[in-house]
Amino acid sequence: MKSNNTKVSNAIIRRLPRYRRYLNELRKQGVKKISSNELSELIGYTASQIRQDLNTFGGFGQQGYGYSVDSLFHEINKILGLDREYKTIVVGIGNLGQAITNYTYYYKIGFNIVGLFDVNPKLVGLSINDVLVRDFSEMSDFVKENDIDIAIICVNRENAQKVTDVLVDAGIEGIWNFAPVDLNVPNDVAVENVHLSDSLHTLSFLIRSNELEDAEK
């Protein structure tokens, strides 16, 4: 993998998980190698775009051979930091928090949830997939004592920044935020904001665009 200090564009970063997902399916099917043209037909990106994206990190393909599916999958894993496990907590164990906890548990995607936190006394003391729900007041010490890497925030917008501030003070490295608000964090804390309404609004736009195209025919 190429090592340099050049900042990789956000667009390329967003495409890498899609490459990884398709390559993993190809591995399961027993496919050993694939060309950029064949990968293009599967994914929908142009072959030129695929080659440019992958060349950002080094030359993974061979002229006249294409890409080794297994090798490229593992290289993308390394690029995405998925060659290790992340100690993770979930803050806010309502319906969404429980769903995400179950998802990460059953799909074994490398994010090991070791702590759950909430302020609701009806939830504190329960266990989800053998992980205890603790009171929010215990969170800061838990993060420090267990070297937690990532926090998944599933609280309401009014409390999201307060929760974030506690996490940052405790030394958290990354936050996966499902609260409907953008968070303010220092530059050394990575944040991925997941706004579900944004995705629905995009879907609405695509439906409307298709309807307009049909009307013009």
User: Where are the chain's structural domains?
Assistant: 10-79, 86-197
* CATH number for the segment(s) 10-79: 1.10.10.10
Q: Is 61 annotated as a binding residue?
A: no
Backbone angles phi, psi at 58, to 5 degrees: 130, 170
What pLDDT sits at residue 3?
43
What pLDDT sits at residue 64?
66
Domain 86-197 sits in CATH 1.10.1060.10? no
Q: Is 92 annotated as a binding residue?
A: yes
Q: Is 150 annotated as a binding residue?
A: no
What pLDDT sits at residue 165?
98
Q: Is 125 annotated as a binding residue?
A: no
What pLDDT sits at residue 105?
85
Q: Is 156 annotated as a binding residue?
A: no
- Residue ranges of the chain whose pLDDT lies below 70: 1-6, 59, 61-64
What pLDDT sits at residue 1?
47
What pLDDT sits at residue 5?
42
Order of strands, edge to edge, in the sheet holding 66-68?
A: 33-34, 66-68, 61-62
Q: Is 93 annotated as a binding residue?
A: yes
CA-based nearest residue to 150, from 121, 171, 122:
171
Crossing angle of the two packed helices 10-28 and 47-55, in degrees rounded to 10: 110
What pLDDT sits at residue 4?
44
